[in-house]
Each structure stands twice: as C-alpha cells, then as structure tokens.
Amino acid sequence: MLIIRSLAGSHAKLDNLSESDDTNVLRKALEAKSTIKDVGHAGTAMRFLTALLSTRPEEVVLTGSDRMKQRPIGPLVTALRQLGAQIEYMEKEGCPPLKISGENITGGNIDIEGGISSQFISALMMVGPLLEGGLRMNLTGSVVSSTYIMMTMNLMKQCGVGVSFDGRQIIVPRQPYSVDRFMVESDWSGASYWYQVAALLPGSGIALPKLAEESLQGDVVLVHLFELLGVESRFSEDGVTLYSDNIEIPGKVEYDFTGCPDLVQTCAVTLCALGVPFLFAGTQTLLVKETDRIAALRTELQKVGFVLDSDNSGEWISWDGTSCDPLKDPVIHTYHDHRMAMAFAPLAIPFGSIIIEDPMVVTKSYPGYWTDLEKAGFGIAPV
C-alpha cells in the first residue's frame, strides 16, 4: 500500500501500518531525497523500489546489507530493461546494489518465469498502470506463490485499477490509481506464532486483533492448518480468538506450501515439538529468503533433537520421526532471519526454556514480539 500510494501521488492515511523494520525502511526510502537508498535486509523493499524507481526521472543507487547483495534480482531487472529501464549492476551480476536511471519506461508484453519470487511479479504489476499501453505479463513454467499475486491484484483493484490474472497471464491496463484512507490488515504470518503457542499449550485462549477470515493474505490458511491440530479460530468484528481445548495429534501431516512459504518454519517446529511426522512440498523459495531457511531449520532443529531431511533443490522438507540426542542448553542461531527467532521461541513451552541468539531480528516484521510474549506470561531475560 505504501508503494501504491506513492505511485498514485497520494498522501492518504494508511491505518494499522506495521511498525516493523520492513515498513519503516520502505517508508523512509520513499520519503528520502537522497540519491542512495539503503534497504538493509528488506527484500520486499528492494524489489518493489527497483520497479518504482525505474519510473522516476532521477538517478538513484539502491543497495542493502551483505546478505541482500547475495539475493537474486536478475529476472526483475531483465524484465524492466525490456520495458526500457536503465539499470546497472554495481557489484555482482544479477544482485544488488543497483544504479537506476529513471526513464519514462513503456509498457507492452513481457514473458517472466513464474517460479521466481512473486515479489518480482508484484513489483511489475504495481508500476503497470503508469506505463504507456499498460502491461501484459505471460508467466512461464510453474507459478509459485500465486496467493501473493492475487493479494497484489486485489489491492490494486481496491485502488481503482482493473487488473486481471488467469493463472498464466496478468493484464494491467494503463489507468490512474485512486487511494483514499485505507485500513491495512494485520499480518497473518505474524499470527502464526500465536497459533503455534496455542497448539503447544492446550487450554489457551489468545485474542488477535484486526485479522479477518475473508483475508487477502494467503497465510490465512493457518486457520485450516492448525484446525488439523485442534486449534479453533473464532472470528468477530474485532479479529480472531484462538482456543486449544482439544489438541489432536495426527499420524502425519502432508501439505504443499507453494502459496504460503512463510509458514514453513512455524509449522515444522510445531509438528516436531508435538511428535507429528510431516512432508512439506512447495518449499523451493525458502532457499533464497533472508537465509537458506531449509538448511537453517535442519541445523537448528537437530540441536534440539529432531533430524529433518530435504532434497537439494528445496522442493520438499520432511521429518519421519527420527530423533537424536539434543545439545545441552542449545543456542538457536537466527541467521539474521526474523522467522527463525519467532518460530523457535515457543519451544520454551515443551523444553522449559530456549536460548535465542540475536533476538532483535524480530523487528524486521514483528517488533513487539517479545513484549507480547511477556504479556502472555512468558519470562524473557538476557543471557
């Protein structure tokens, strides 16, 4: 919504904006007059700003952290170049930092790989209405994370742009945005850690505000996933309340996370702690997140006694119940990844305590996480 508001030239108020690092980094980058914009670890900001800045008549350097400089952005740059954008790689080919010389890029037809990050596709979609003739994108290969494409499309429609998406082709007409005061949904990904707490602590009742059952977010599938474990979601006008009076332990869980990859860590840790074997498919995008999340999960879960398996391409990750001796007082490394910290912290419930390294990585998406845990009765102390 910050990107769409900027593209619309609007100053409309956006209610319920997150105070996360990602939100603040993006807001600062949009407001700053500097010709060097540093987004740190914020991959979403990097991808969305690459497209937005390509439409602006100025030369800007877009950079980030050391990890960001390893994360691929080549397919997005290639697509923007096809539309006339002037973008140079300043260090490693295919990765940030980028020198973007804004031009009046034109619209047209482009082919783009559907198996890449949906953020590349969303970035192009959002600038599409500004382009002469609009934009027609043909998605080739397998399409991952289509739920995020749908979320972008529906937000654009709410702001006056009649996008269409049939699963293979996205058509964005040239059309002005119209942004009025807007209420931003709370984050279903952040809610996942409270579903996790509810599952690990039978008898819980946890109220989460401003979350709707008819959400645009693919991660609302949490309701179904944790229902399999006996966590009940009761919706009201204020949000959702979780109840875990009747926790169930299924024999095995198999699920395709193509549309909700940000839930993999939460679900994997939860099922291991409950002793439930699983096979997760659709996990290939986890290899290029804040860290290689599959490798991180396997390494850190082994520290606490669970031996996972996966394939080299990241297509699946599984646990068949194999255990090992846990380390004494293991320290969970977070790899600069907010979701590693938040997915592992609830292991304090079955293990009595857990030590999380670099705990403030949570500020990337959920800066109040530790405070909220304390409100719920957890003890939080520095080591």
Q: CATH code at 24? A: 3.65.10.10
Confirm whether 55 is domain-assigned.
Answer: yes
Report the chain's mean pLDDT, rounded to a whole number: 94
Q: What is the pLDDT of residues 42-82, one digit of tens each?
A: 889 999 999 999 999 899 999 999 989 998 899 999 999 99
pLDDT of residue 285: 83
Of the three residues 175, 209, 239, the one that is the final residue of a domain is 175
Q: What is the pLDDT of residues 141-196, one digit of tens each?
A: 888 778 899 999 999 999 999 999 998 999 999 999 999 999 999 999 999 999 99
Confirm whether 209 is domain-assigned.
Answer: no
Binned at pLDDT 50, 70 and 90, residue 288 comes out as low
**Please, which residues bridge with residue 235 across strands?**
240
One domain, residues 36 and 161: yes
Q: What is the pLDDT of residues 87-100, one digit of tens each?
A: 999 999 999 999 99
Residue 352, CA distances (Å) to 200, 325, 378 in order: 12, 17, 10
Average pLDDT over residues 316-323: 97
Q: Is the separation of the CB atoms in 335 and 291 below 8 Å? A: yes
Query: What is the value of pTM for the model shown?
Result: 0.85
Q: How far is CA 256 from the centre of its chain?
A: 16
One domain, residues 273 and 169: no
**How many alpha carbons fall within 13 Å on the CB side of residue 190?**
21
Annotation says 262 is catalytic: yes
One domain, residues 264 and 371: yes
Confirm whether 261 is domain-assigned.
Answer: yes
One domain, residues 36 and 162: yes
Confirm whether 206 is domain-assigned.
Answer: no
270 pLDDT higher than 90: yes
Average pLDDT over residues 319-338: 95
103 pLDDT higher than 90: no
Average pLDDT over residues 310-324: 94
Can you say whether the dihedral through the CA atoms of 242, 350, 369, 254 is positive or negative?
negative
158-161 long-range Cβ contacts below 8 angstroms, 24+ apart: 158/182, 159/4, 159/8, 161/128, 161/129
Of 33-37, 80-84, 111-115, 365-369, the one with minimum mean pLDDT is: 111-115
* Percent of all residues in the chain with a pLDDT value above 70, rounded to a whole number: 99
Average pLDDT over residues 212-231: 95
One domain, residues 58 and 167: yes
One domain, residues 156 and 278: no
One domain, residues 162 and 254: no
One domain, residues 31 and 116: yes
289 pLDDT higher than 70: no
Confirm whether 264 is domain-assigned.
Answer: yes
pLDDT of residue 373: 97
Confirm whether 232 is domain-assigned.
Answer: no
* Percent of all residues in the chain with a pLDDT value above 90, rounded to a whole number: 85
H or E stretch including 365? none
One domain, residues 17 and 128: yes
One domain, residues 73 and 159: yes
One domain, residues 31 and 143: yes
Average pLDDT over residues 280-291: 82
Structural domain of residue 343, as residue ranges? 188-193+250-375
Confirm whether 230 is domain-assigned.
Answer: no
Total domains in the chain come to 2
Confirm whether 344 is domain-assigned.
Answer: yes
Binned at pLDDT 50, 70 and 90, residue 259 comes out as confident
Of the three residues 124, 143, 175, the one that is the final residue of a domain is 175
Q: Is the separation of the CB atoms in 20 and 366 below 8 Å? A: yes
One domain, residues 83 and 171: yes
Of the three residues 147, 175, 203, the one that is the final residue of a domain is 175
Kindly provide the residue ranges of all beta strands, DSSP E only, lying in 219-335, ordered along the sequence.
232-236, 239-243, 253-256, 278-281, 309-310, 316-319, 331-332
Amino acid, res. 33: K
41 pLDDT higher than 90: no
Q: What is the pLDDT of residues 106-143, one digit of tens each?
A: 999 999 988 778 899 999 999 999 999 999 999 998 88
User: Out of 262, 309, 311, 372, which one is annotated catalytic?
Assistant: 262
Closest by CA to 103, choosing from 62, 123, 134, 131, is 131
